[in-house]
Amino acid sequence: MNNKRTIGVLTSGGDAPGMNAAVRAVVRSGIYYGFNVIGIRKGYEGLLNGDMEEMNVRSVGDLIHRGGTILQTARSSEFNTDAGVEKGITMAKVFGIDALVVIGGDGSFRGAKDLSNKGFPTMCIPATIDNDIASTEYTIGFDTALNTVQDAIDKIRDTAYSHERCSVLEVMGRKAGYIAINVAISGGAEAVILPEKKFDIDVDIIKPIMDGRNRGKKHYLVVIAEGVGGAVEIAEYIEKKTDVKTRATILGHIQRGGSPTVYDRVTASRMGAHAVKLLKDGHKDRVVSMQQGLITDFDINEALLMKKTIDKEMIEINKILAL
């Protein structure tokens, strides 16, 4: 008779670079602490379909540097229902899973909360390029996505300078402008438009471009968060109003891919190990989080009630430095 406890691990929602490093950390710390570890493919969909297999230390070899997620990810509408959650618990029990580690964004955590509130133990690890989970100052994948966008900005800047153009760049972030504000600062944007803040195109975009031109600027960068959208229309409006040749670039899914940065690999490793240590110590239903650079954790119900806002100082800094 095998008395070992078994952890299930899945990745859910949008993929993020560093998810693999988190899976590796969960599998290896799990085995280190004496758990069996089962990898569940395609998020909650795989849990409902019994699409899973036991993992060992070698299953996660040659993995830490790879983007995407070997467990694959999915969005499951069935799991969004009460019956779906009940079925998930039944399937977990059929496969002998005692606790589930969910690596994903806040939607995925809501699914975990439903499991927890029905008595099935969970642990959540924040991984989304958007950095929009309130209980943590950092989510796995954010740093890699920022660097991918920055690389694109540097390339766009070269051609924008050569042609004295304005570039309008749409970056990911449906409800949150963390990517947008950070790359606006790191890329020296004249203007940044965030989903969190109402904007006036003449005041917030046209005026800084005109002011810049009067000060001798040769090219311009406007960053738009996906949640605001309309990059092509905004580019047309800028060209019409200012006579500066303007091109829109929508970066899209390139922002999700790529080998994770050192920071994402290390953070994923720390968070994955922390999640498993919590289970080993008898805790459950926690969201692993980072606060002031330290790895900590919060009760899942409390974590999902927290709110997060963009630091106003960052918006101010971007305005000052765009002079």
- The H-or-E segment that residue 291 falls in is strand 286-291
Q: Which is nearer to ligand ATP, 83 or 320 (by Cβ)?
A: 83
Binding mask 179-218 for ligand ATP (x = CB under 6 A): ----------------------------------------
Q: Which is nearer to ligand ATP, 130 or 190 (by Cβ)?
A: 130
Residues 117 and 282: beta-carbon distance below 8 Å: no
Report the nearest approach of ligand ATP to the CB of residue 209 (Å).
Answer: 32
Q: Which 3-state string (H, E, C) describes 100-144?
A: EEEEECHHHHHHHHHHHHCCCCEEEEEECCCCCCCCCCCCECHHH
Residues 180 and 171: beta-carbon distance below 8 Å: yes
**What is the SS3 assignment for 40?**
strand
Residues with Cβ within 8 Å of 274's Cβ and at least 6 positions away in sequence, in order, are 288, 295, 297
What whole-number distance in Å separates Cα of residue 13 and Cα of residue 71? 12
Residues 195 and 177: beta-carbon distance below 8 Å: yes
**82 assigned to active site:** no
Among 15, 114, 130, 285, the one annotated catalytic? 130
User: Which of the stretches 10-18, 165-173, 274-282, 298-306 binds ligand ATP when contact is defined by CB under 6 A?
Assistant: 10-18
Binding mask 58-77 for ligand ATP (x = CB under 6 A): -----------------xx-
User: Which of the stretches 99-107, 142-150, 207-215, 278-286 binds ligand ATP when contact is defined by CB under 6 A?
Assistant: 99-107
Q: Contact with ligand ATP (CB under 6 A): which of 8, 9, 106, 147? A: 106
Q: Which residues bind ligand ATP (CB under 6 A)?
A: 12-14, 44, 75-76, 79-80, 104-108, 110-111, 114, 128, 130
Q: Which residues are catalytic?
A: 130
